[in-house]
Structure 1
Amino acid sequence: MTTQPALKDYLQLHFIVLIWGFTAILGLLISIPAVELVFFRILLSILFLAVLLYVRKKKFSMPVPEMLKLMSTGALIAAHWILFFGAARVSTASICLAGMATSSLWTSLTEPLIRGRRISVLEIFLGLVVIVGLYVVFHFEFNHALGITMAIGSALLAALFSVINAGFTNKHDAFVITFYEMIGAFLTTGLFLPVYRYYLTDTQTLQLNPTLTDWLYIAILAGICTVYAYSLAVRLMKKFTAFAMNLTINLEPVYGIVLAFLFFGDAEKMTPGFYFGTVIILAAVLLYPVLKRNLSSLKLKRAAAKTS
């Protein structure tokens, strides 16, 4: 059960969305391919988390069924990251981030099924508005079809593990949750590497030799974008519904596109249709709290009218 979020919670949520908007930029700055990048990112994340948990004297132990659930969720996270960075590589950071905006629609469909609550017409409507915005982007940027398809798949997986994680937050510490999920993500990526090597690479070789600059960027991905931001997001799930969080995360393309333009300049310059579609997506994000508040007031007035 979520509690009413405070201003501090909203500021923290937007701060981690800003951090995540930077991940696609880091993914393009790192020279090794997406799968190898995810492998090293998760490995460093586990090491950072292990040290953090040891220093804070957090208990690692938990029932095996719970541990397996967390590790299974980690498998979804690994697949999400592989598709995310892959989308940025085959298209652009902006296209990747725009495709991720569909996570709110997926959440509006999956959260009621997994959490056992009623489907919200408002959430479905706003999710479809996001899809309209995405269609506009897709229509004007058709040459990036593969990238946007991979990004949509990544968004679906993000919605799933967000909804699932909401059920863990009242049982376990956020850093412990992240630790076991990273172990599951690491095992999943490790098992995927042979398949990736023999069937999805041109040379049938893995690039497991990051440069010193790569290691620096991967360390930032692991320490700030994963351990810090992801653990904070898990903690914020006590205050926000999965849909409210993922709808706010739709602002990630805005932060990411601005950062991408600052880093890559004309390489990230898109058509006017792309930005029009992005505005539609943003409208859905900004309308949600307004419409939800108005609908709640309308329901209260109707209830009061019936009792009078």
Structure 2
Amino acid sequence: MRDDKLLNYLHLHFIVFIWGFTAVLGALISIDSIPLVWWRMSIAVVLIFIYMKWKKIPFQLFGKGALSRKRILAFLLAGVVIALHWVTFFGAIKESNVSVTLAMLSMGSFFTALLEPIFTSKKFVWYELIFGVIIIGALYYIFQIETEYVTGMILGLISALLSAIFSIMNVKWAKENPPSLISFYELLSGVALLSLFFLFLPVEFVMPSQLSSMDWLLLGILASVCTAYAFIASVKVMKFLSAYTVMLTINLEPVYGIFLAYLILGDAEEMTPEFYIGAVVIVLVIITNGILKTRLAKK
């Protein structure tokens, strides 16, 4: 039993490591954020469709056990949110770099803590207000120092907010439906939304022939390993670990991502000491928030 728990713990770290690597892939892929996300989601939809057919997981559109229209619409709406989250995420990377984007994205769990009392029955916790003031101070400090990356920071914060909204929407559904089913409809919805962007907005679609062999390789890794596999595996692993362990491990994503970015991208990711001070303050506050929340919940 202990070995199983250890294996699941190591598996979770591997998944979080993969999520950190996602940002590096976004920086290496040469196309803009909207076509990048369209290709990511499209390939992932095909892969999850094949997986569901292989595992004989029903799509639950018709017959006994069919999803209600309300639930399908909810999945589709969540897909719109996750698509916009990824567009702003990769847009932030293109406008700044991986380190800046992940520092801003680490705000996602804190946004979740602030939004949950508004949209759910959860009560607001007093110490989260204090943590919020500290985080705002750290963000202001970073904004004052890294002025050339302001656009990327704003996009990163929007991405973190959308990530929080998405997690709140998904938390109940994950207990009631297979993760592959949820992700299939959500990703399909995202593809549909971004397809409309190409039709009605001045956004240029990237044809398959315009993608280099390296782009195809990186997109394949992004869609298969970092999207289809990581989503399904993370839900499975979370069934065997405590919320406390999961929370602490997931908060290591920006740490893994910034380390990988510096290792792979080199000087392009080198930031001022002041940036790292602000980023460390944000991550430490978010981890402390999770520790306090978990301990109080146990009591």
- Normalising by the smaller structure, the TM-score range is 0.7 to 0.9
CA RMSD of aligned residues (A): 2.5
Distance 2:285 2:22 in 1: 23
For the 8 Å contact 1:107–1:246, the answer to whether it is kept is no
TM-score normalized with structure 2 length: 0.86
Partner of 2:214: 213
2:138 counterpart (113, 129, 133):
133
Distance 2:233 2:117 in 1: 24
Q: CA deviation at 1:140?
A: 1.4
TM-score normalized with structure 1 length: 0.84
Partner of 2:63: none
Partner of 2:14: 15
Distance 1:129 1:244 in 2: 24
Q: CA deviation at 1:73?
A: 0.2
Q: 1:237 to 1:168 in 2, by over 3 A?
A: farther
The residue identity in structure 2 corresponding to 1:22 is: F
User: What CA deviation, in whole Å up to 9, does each residue of 1:34-58 have, x standing for no partner?
Assistant: 1111111011000000010011010
- Identity across aligned pairs (percent)? 38
Q: Which runs of 5+ in 1 are unaligned?
A: 1-5, 301-308
For the 8 Å contact 1:104–1:127, the answer to whether it is kept is no
Q: CA deviation at 1:191?
A: 1.1
1:104 matched to 2:103? The reply is no
For the 8 Å contact 1:98–1:134, the answer to whether it is kept is no
Partner of 1:53: 52
1:147 counterpart (146, 149, 152):
152
Q: CA deviation at 1:108?
A: 1.0
For the 8 Å contact 1:174–1:232, the answer to whether it is kept is no
Partner of 1:31: 30
For the 8 Å contact 2:248–2:290, the answer to whether it is kept is no
For 1:182-201, what aligned pairs fall within 5 Å after superposition? 182-196=187-201, 198=202
Distance 1:112 1:50 in 2: 35
Q: 1:81 to 1:158 in 2, by over 3 A?
A: same
Which secondary structure state, in structure 1, belongs to the residue aligned with residue 112 of structure 2? Answer: helix
Q: Which runs of 5+ in 2 are unaligned?
A: 61-66
Q: CA deviation at 1:76?
A: 0.2
Q: CA deviation at 1:240?
A: 6.6
Distance 2:7 2:128 in 1: 24
1:88 matched to 2:88? The reply is no
Partner of 2:231: 230
Partner of 1:79: 84
Partner of 2:253: 252
User: What CA deviation, in whole Å up to 9, does each residue of 1:100-156 have, x standing for no partner?
Assistant: 111122101211222211112234444443333333322211110000000000000
For the 8 Å contact 2:110–2:286, the answer to whether it is kept is no
Q: 1:150 to 1:165 in 2, by over 3 A?
A: same
The residue identity in structure 1 corresponding to 2:104 is: G
